[in-house]
Chain A
Amino acid sequence: MGGLAAKPLFRMALAIPLAGVGVLAGQQAGPRPWALLVTAALIVGLAQQTLP
């Protein structure tokens, strides 16, 4: 999975529908940039605990 996840074609095939879901979610929930900021900040901060 790690090797596959590094392939650009696989990443693009995953990214396009994901971004589409994000657009739909944004339209449904209404645009709230501060909520995106806080969500991204909290998740990336936690993920960075795994940095070597």
Chain B
Amino acid sequence: MIIMITRARVSGCFGSPVVAGAVLVLSAIGAAALTGALLGLLGAALEPGMRALLALAAASAVAVGAVSRPVPWQLDRETDTDWLGYEDWRTAAYNGVALGLGFTTRIGFWLFYLVPLTAFVVADPVLGAAGYAAFAVSRVGGSALLAAAGIWIDGGITRARLVADLVAGLALGALLTVLIPLM
């Protein structure tokens, strides 16, 4: 039995879509928290001035990219459809990890880049992990909840992109006030 949970494509594992959803969300949180912790650790390993310089360079690149095109640099693909063939816990776990990492599939929005960037800037593995976990809960937990409620979102990416781009512009500006004093 394969139960599609919105874009997450989750098989029912142990015959239960609830278990599949839990495996999906927990895998996503685990992968995201690990990524955030590593970025926070990387930030902490650098001197504040060097950290700020690297973050400023990355933020500038994102700003230039966001101004020049609405679709971000991304791997333009969905999660691997071959994973559907497992029809067990692996389908949910692999999808969860891929979606929790974020960058292994379409990201869709320039705002996504603020997540790894600020996880690096916080320079704290715990805060980095917590922030990335918030992304996984919002991204994958949101999908699971929508699926459980029988809600299918069809379209709306153009409007969502407008809002996300506005938030990204504000956030990049606010990030400058964090980075400049460190230099």
What chain B residues lie within 8 Å of A43 (beta carbons)? 111, 138, 163-164, 167
> Please, could you name 23 A-B residue pairs with CB atoms under 8 Å apart, sorted by A?
A5-B158, A8-B67, A14-B166, A15-B63, A15-B66, A19-B170, A26-B178, A32-B178, A33-B118, A33-B121, A36-B118, A36-B175, A37-B115, A40-B112, A40-B167, A40-B168, A41-B132, A43-B138, A44-B112, A44-B139, A45-B139, A47-B163, A49-B6
**Does A15 contact B169, Cβ atoms closer than 8 Å?**
yes
Task: Tell me the A residues contacting B by CB distance below 8 Å.
Answer: 1-2, 5-6, 8, 11-12, 14-15, 18-27, 29, 31-34, 36-52
Given contact pairs A24-B173, A43-B111, A44-B107, a sample of 16 additional A-B residue pairs in the complex whose CB atoms are under 8 Å apart: A8-B68, A8-B69, A11-B70, A12-B67, A19-B169, A19-B173, A22-B175, A26-B176, A26-B177, A29-B174, A31-B177, A34-B127, A39-B167, A39-B171, A48-B108, A52-B157
- For the complex, give the distance between the alpha carbons of A49 and B142 in Å: 7
**Does A47 contact B161, Cβ atoms closer than 8 Å?**
yes
**Does B70 contact A22, Cβ atoms closer than 8 Å?**
no
Is B10 interfacial (CB 8 A cutoff)? Answer: no
B interface, over-half SS: helix
Task: Tell me the B residues contacting A by CB distance below 8 Å.
Answer: 6-7, 63, 66-70, 106-109, 111-112, 114-115, 118-119, 121-122, 124, 127-128, 130-132, 134-140, 142-143, 146, 153, 155-158, 160-178, 181
